[in-house]
Amino acid sequence: MKAAVIGSGNIGTDLLIKIIRGSGNVTAAAMIGIDPDSEGLARARRLGVPTSSDGVAGLIALDGFDEIDVVFDATSAAAHHRNAAALAPYGKTLVDLTPAAIGPYVVPPVNLDEHLDARNVNMVTCGGQATIPIVAAVAAVAPVHYAEIVASIASRSAGPGTRANIDEFTETTSRALEQVGGASRGKAIIVLNPAEPPLLMRDTVHCVVDDCDTGRVTDSVHAMVASVAAYVPGYRLKQEPQFRALAADDPLTGLAGGGRLLVSVYLEVEGAAHHLPAYAGNLDIMTSAALRTAERLAERSRVR
């Protein structure tokens, strides 16, 4: 399956390098940007990948455009709306790494196979890719009445796009915790950690559930962590899942209604450092999830 990457910034460049380094099912057919002097386009050219600095119009005009099957969009939410409209007549599958969320939310180990026929799939957010699998793992054992996640990322790994989209991050992640993770209510918080040297991405997941078999929850969480780590090797638990009975006057009990159990899971995401620093696990998990999505599309296409 031939793929084009729109967006020549850090995320687009990291994704391009991942495609070239390790994907047998997906090949890099083009990198598209809007700045002819961008380092991402220069690197793509050095790697022998066709480029254009004319945005989506340049992609459509590119030799070999008809052979491209999937287009990764690593631009911005506003740009993705324009790109999707421009590409709609051509029947390409779009993998959206922005918060635009035109198509269904996709988290590979949770619901990818449900959306293999969608023409536009959304990778939610970095925090969503890290935490939604855990909420889904807990929900597989007991109904999750309320899920709250805190994604802490190195300030250095949050570029202008991330900072401009913080509201979209919290709103998109909260919705996806419910729609994909299975929580009745979801809340997302992002923290830009200014520590020097930069710290690895850390994610905290709190789920309010009815009293349940904690051993089964732990097993389900471990199985899900292994599933994510299969395509994000730096994804890991920091400690065993924690369980606490909620008192009747606990604010979380009030949110869920009645006496409940709080399940807390603490994660760390270390980047593969293909292009981005290892502390930028928040960006690495997005590009890894996007590539895993395209690889699965290619596998399904080959079987057909």
Same domain, 172 and 269: yes
109, two tokens: 């180990």
Q: Find out whether 159 is annotated in a ligand binding site.
A: yes
The residue assigned the tokens 């471990």 is: 222
Residue 42 maps to which CATH number?
Answer: 3.40.50.720
Same domain, 266 and 133: yes
Number of domains in the chain: 2
* One domain, residues 217 and 200: yes
167 & 132 share domain: yes
Q: What does the pLDDT read at residue 249?
A: 83
Same domain? For 292 and 176 the reply is: no
**Residue 253 scores a pLDDT above 80:** no
Element holding 242 (H helix, E strand): strand 242-245
pLDDT exceeds 80 at position 95: yes
* Residue 255 pLDDT: 78
Same domain, 269 and 292: no
Give residue 144's pLDDT.
97
Looking at the fold, whether 226 and 291 belong to one and the same domain comes out as: no
Helix axes 126-139, 166-179, angle to 10 degrees: 20
Same domain, yes or no: 131 and 217: yes
How big, in percent rounded to 5, are the helix, strand and coil portions of the chain? 45, 25, 35
SS (H, E, C) 8-76: CCHHHHHHHHHHHHHCCCCEEEEEECCCCCCHHHHHHHHCCCCEECCHHHHHHHCCCHHHCCEEEECCC
The pLDDT, as a whole number, for residue 99 is: 82
> Highest-confidence range of 17-26, 44-53, 91-100, by mean pLDDT?
44-53
Q: Is the pLDDT of residue 19 over 70?
A: yes
Burial of 64 (0-12, 13-18, 19+ CB in 10 A): exposed
Query: Binding site annotation covers 8?
Result: yes
Residue 227 assigned to a binding site: no
Task: Give the SS3 label for residue 2.
Answer: strand
Q: What CATH number does residue 150 fall under?
A: 3.30.360.10
**Same domain flag for 174 and 234:** yes
Has 164 been labeled as part of a binding site?
A: yes
Least confident window among 63-67, 115-119, 126-130, 299-303: 299-303
Specify the pLDDT at position 128: 97
Largest CA distance in the chain: 65
Catalytic residue among 126, 141, 209, 256: 126
Give the chain's mean pLDDT: 94
Of 292 and 250, the one with more pLDDT: 292
Q: Is 126 a catalytic residue?
A: yes
- Whether 304 has a pLDDT exceeding 60, the answer reads no
Given pLDDT bands bounded at 50, 70 and 90, which one contains residue 240? very high
Q: Are residues 151 and 268 in the same domain?
A: yes
pLDDT greater than 60 at residue 303: no
Q: Summarize pLDDT for 100-139 with one digit per residue, the tens.
A: 889 999 999 999 999 999 999 999 999 999 999 999 999 9
| Tokens at 272, concatenated | 């593969």
Based on the fold, state whether residues 163 and 245 are members of the same structural domain. Answer: yes
Residues whose CB is less than 8 angstroms from the CB of residue 63 and which lie 6 or more positions away in sequence, other chains included: 50
- Reply yes or no on whether the pLDDT at 80 is more than 70: yes
Containing domain of residue 167, as a range?
126-278
pLDDT digits (tens, 9 = 90+) for 146-194: 999 999 999 999 877 778 778 888 999 999 999 999 999 999 999 999 9
- pLDDT in the model for residue 302: 62
Which pLDDT score, from 0 to 100, does residue 23 have?
A: 65
Residues 6+ apart with CB under 8 A from 273: none
Confirm whether residue 53 is marked as ligand binding. no
pLDDT value at position 160? 75
46 and 75, same domain (yes or no): yes
